[in-house]
Chains A and B, each alone.
Chain A
Amino acid sequence: MRTIRAVAWKEIQVYFGTPIAYIVGSIFLVLTGIFFAIGVVPSEANPFPEASLSNFFQWGTTILILLAPALTMRLLAEEQKLGTIELLLTSPVRDWEVILGKYLASLTFLLAMLALTLYYPALLFIFADPDPGPIYSGYLGLILYGAAALSIGMLTSTITSNQIVAGFVAMGVIAALSFVHVSSDLLGGFMSLLIREVGLQAHFEDFSRGVIDTKHIVYFLSVTAVFLFLAIRALEFRRWR
């Protein structure tokens, strides 16, 4: 437990000791702020907007496709490039502790970033009378979605020592998994069902509508677990290369 915390704490310090945290954080806040405003400020296209965060939640996931890999791409790729992995892997630390520690660091950062968006609902509660249900469920969904996205980034960072490759591959995988459900109508029968069920965003939609379905929670947690498991195996495999 202490080793996981040490690994995580070291990474959190790196996040805040380098510009990454501030760049990723500010991009996230600027973009989500814009979409939040578009959703709640009356405009020609939308003269009577609803006091809800649905626009923020919908776009939030898309923004995370770009930003989650930026948080994870460094985590193991850099250690491999600089060779510090040699001291990490010759310490009496288990491979899963390394992966979990690093992953928890990125998850902590994501949570901190989401915490900074809490003033959107605060504004709604001050100036309007929003339905609290979809706000809670939306945040839960965003956290679960982010957790899954970060686990995908964790895997790609373990596989390569090139941060750029790790980042872009993660972006591609997360994007593909997010939007694949759109194509489900092109196929019929079982394949259509399968593709619809595999998509990340398909499982997110209920959350943004205020529905908390165990099915979706299990789905996101499973995706996260699978990718973290693959990352641990990839790290083990690394030794045998």
Chain B
Amino acid sequence: MENRKTDDLMIQASQLTHYYGPRPAVEEVNFGVKRGEVLGFLGPNGAGKTTTMRIITGFMPPTQGKVTLADYDVVEQSLEVRRRIGYLPETVPLHMEMPVTSYLKYMGTLRRMPSRQIKRRIGEVIEVCRLQDYHKTIIGKLSKGFRQRVGIAQAILHEPEVLVLDEPTIGIDPIQVVETRRLIQDLGKEQTVVLSSHILPEVNMICERVLIIHEGKIVAEDTPENLAQRLQGADQLQVEVRGPVREVQAALRQINGVTEVTHRSQQGRNVFTVQVQRGQDLRDEISRVVVNQDWSLFSMQLVSMSLEDIFLRLTTHEEL
């Protein structure tokens, strides 16, 4: 009963550190992934996402720290861990000379699946990944998008408890990106999924929780919605006003609570972006100022900060 808490956690990493030479790729990272959760690692290239995933999957041991998956240690009980994961590395390394079905059969045997189960599951994953027309094609002759599907097919073949996907939509065309995301969302309903990405909307769309990783450290961790809220140091208003640009700008700046006003001309219309201190609603005040000066207020919109901005801030300026 005591370890019920850890029972709920599918993956638990504590003080995870990995060095390549003298430079740490991942430094004292702690996180947990709940059973059934879809967790996203978000970060620019070189942030340490791939390293973290390689450690989770047992491909390489951490320099320091400990990771457990289903309560098995990834170093000490690597084989038990590897039985439970399906992995799609970033580069989608496949055996190019093999036909799709033979490749899947090979991977199934490596995963120690009984041959009857392999046969059944190959049929299923080929359908799920929509490879029906290509199941006899040699992998090397498939396009990048289809190879990606084969990569996912091998990862889910043995119905692993945890699915680890490293940049699953990188380098494939937009339509296939949409399909792949949908597929991952479906898989996430039943399996624990850990994926990495440097594309914000993607993580926002697929993941229940996001870890933002930068230079080997976790700088933020929350649901995509909460992240947006937590990080909103300021609200933004877009105001369209007809009037002399400089004076409007000056007048808006003088309003108490406004921190910054920028102007841009959009097809002859004057749009002002007004940064407002967090939690203040200044729409009343702004409209009063504009109208009092005899200018015309055409529109006013509250713009919440996009994840993109958050991401930019997190990885370029400050830590949370």
Binding site for B on A (CB under 8 A): 2-3, 5-7, 10, 13-14, 17-18, 82-94, 239-241
Give the residues in chain B near A13, CB-CB below 8 Å: 98, 102
User: 17 A-B pairs, CB-CB below 8 angstroms?
Assistant: A3-B112, A6-B106, A10-B98, A13-B98, A13-B102, A18-B97, A84-B93, A86-B54, A86-B59, A86-B93, A87-B154, A89-B58, A89-B59, A90-B57, A90-B59, A90-B85, A91-B111
Give the residues in chain B near A82, CB-CB below 8 Å: 93, 96
Closest 4 CB pairs of A and B: A83-B93, A6-B109, A91-B110, A84-B93
B60 in the interface (beta carbon within 8 A): yes
CB-contacts of B83-115 with A (<8 A): 83, 85, 87, 89, 91, 93-98, 102, 106-107, 109-112
Residue with the greatest number of chain A CB neighbours at <10 A, chosen from B80, B87, B110: B110
Give the distance in Å from the alpha carbon of A87 to the alpha carbon of B150 in the complex.
Answer: 13
Structural contact, B93 and A2, CB atoms closer than 8 A:
no
- Kindly identify which residue among B82, B89, B102, B110 contacts A83, using a CB–CB cutoff of 8 Å: B89
Give the distance in Å from the alpha carbon of A227 to the alpha carbon of B251 in the complex.
Answer: 82
Residue with the greatest number of chain A CB neighbours at <10 A, chosen from B61, B85, B89: B89
Give the distance in Å from the alpha carbon of A240 to the alpha carbon of B61 in the complex.
Answer: 7
Give the distance in Å from the alpha carbon of A2 to the alpha carbon of B113 in the complex.
Answer: 10
Structural contact, A10 and B79, CB atoms closer than 8 A:
no
Give the residues in chain A near B110, CB-CB below 8 Å: 3, 6-7, 88, 91-93
Min CB–CB distance B208 → chain A (angstroms):
24
Min CB–CB distance A88 → chain B (angstroms):
7
Min CB–CB distance A63 → chain B (angstroms):
27
Structural contact, B59 and A17, CB atoms closer than 8 A:
no
Give the residues in chain A near B106, CB-CB below 8 Å: 6, 10
- Kindly identify which residue among B60, B107, B109 contacts A2, using a CB–CB cutoff of 8 Å: B109
For the complex with contacts A18-B97, A83-B93, 17 further pairs of A-B residues with Cβ separation under 8 Å are A2-B109, A2-B112, A5-B109, A13-B98, A82-B96, A83-B89, A84-B93, A86-B54, A87-B89, A87-B154, A90-B87, A91-B111, A92-B83, A92-B110, A93-B110, A239-B60, A241-B60
- Kindly identify which residue among A7, A85, A90 contacts B58, using a CB–CB cutoff of 8 Å: A90
Give the residues in chain B near A91, CB-CB below 8 Å: 82, 107, 110-111
The residue in chain B whose Cβ has the minimal distance to the Cβ of A17 is B97
Give the distance in Å from the alpha carbon of A2 to the alpha carbon of B79 in the complex.
Answer: 16
Min CB–CB distance B182 → chain A (angstroms):
24
The residue in chain A whose Cβ has the minimal distance to the Cβ of B60 is A239
Structural contact, A239 and B112, CB atoms closer than 8 A:
no
Min CB–CB distance B104 → chain A (angstroms):
12
Give the distance in Å from the alpha carbon of A92 to the alpha carbon of B110 in the complex.
Answer: 7
Give the residues in chain B near A86, CB-CB below 8 Å: 54, 59, 87, 89, 93
Structural contact, B93 and A92, CB atoms closer than 8 A:
no
Give the residues in chain B near A83, CB-CB below 8 Å: 89, 91, 93
Structural contact, A84 and B94, CB atoms closer than 8 A:
yes
Give the distance in Å from the alpha carbon of A86 to the alpha carbon of B58 in the complex.
Answer: 10
Min CB–CB distance A107 → chain B (angstroms):
20
Give the distance in Å from the alpha carbon of A200 to the alpha carbon of B85 in the complex.
Answer: 44
Structural contact, B93 and A94, CB atoms closer than 8 A:
no
Give the residues in chain B near A18, CB-CB below 8 Å: 97
Structural contact, B112 and A84, CB atoms closer than 8 A:
no
Min CB–CB distance B129 → chain A (angstroms):
16
Give the distance in Å from the alpha carbon of A13 to the alpha carbon of B103 in the complex.
Answer: 12
Min CB–CB distance A117 → chain B (angstroms):
28
Give the distance in Å from the alpha carbon of A104 to the alpha carbon of B98 in the complex.
Answer: 20
Give the distance in Å from the alpha carbon of A214 to the alpha carbon of B61 in the complex.
Answer: 43
The residue in chain A whose Cβ has the minimal distance to the Cβ of B114 is A2
Give the distance in Å from the alpha carbon of A13 to the alpha carbon of B93 in the complex.
Answer: 19
Min CB–CB distance B90 → chain A (angstroms):
9
The residue in chain A whose Cβ has the minimal distance to the Cβ of B113 is A2
Min CB–CB distance A51 → chain B (angstroms):
44
Give the residues in chain B near A85, CB-CB below 8 Å: 93
Give the residues in chain A near B57, CB-CB below 8 Å: 90
Given A92-B79, A92-B82, the answer on whether A87 and B97 have CB atoms closer than 8 Å is no
The residue in chain A whose Cβ has the minimal distance to the Cβ of B57 is A90
Give the residues in chain B near A87, CB-CB below 8 Å: 87, 89, 93, 107, 154
Min CB–CB distance A87 → chain B (angstroms):
6
Give the residues in chain B near A10, CB-CB below 8 Å: 95, 98, 106
Structural contact, B97 and A3, CB atoms closer than 8 A:
no
Min CB–CB distance A35 → chain B (angstroms):
34
Structural contact, A239 and B59, CB atoms closer than 8 A:
yes
CB-contacts of B39-84 with A (<8 A): 54, 57-61, 79-80, 82-83
The residue in chain A whose Cβ has the minimal distance to the Cβ of B84 is A92
Give the residues in chain B near A88, CB-CB below 8 Å: 110
Min CB–CB distance B246 → chain A (angstroms):
58
Give the residues in chain B near A3, CB-CB below 8 Å: 109-110, 112
The residue in chain B whose Cβ has the minimal distance to the Cβ of A240 is B61
Give the residues in chain A near B91, CB-CB below 8 Å: 83
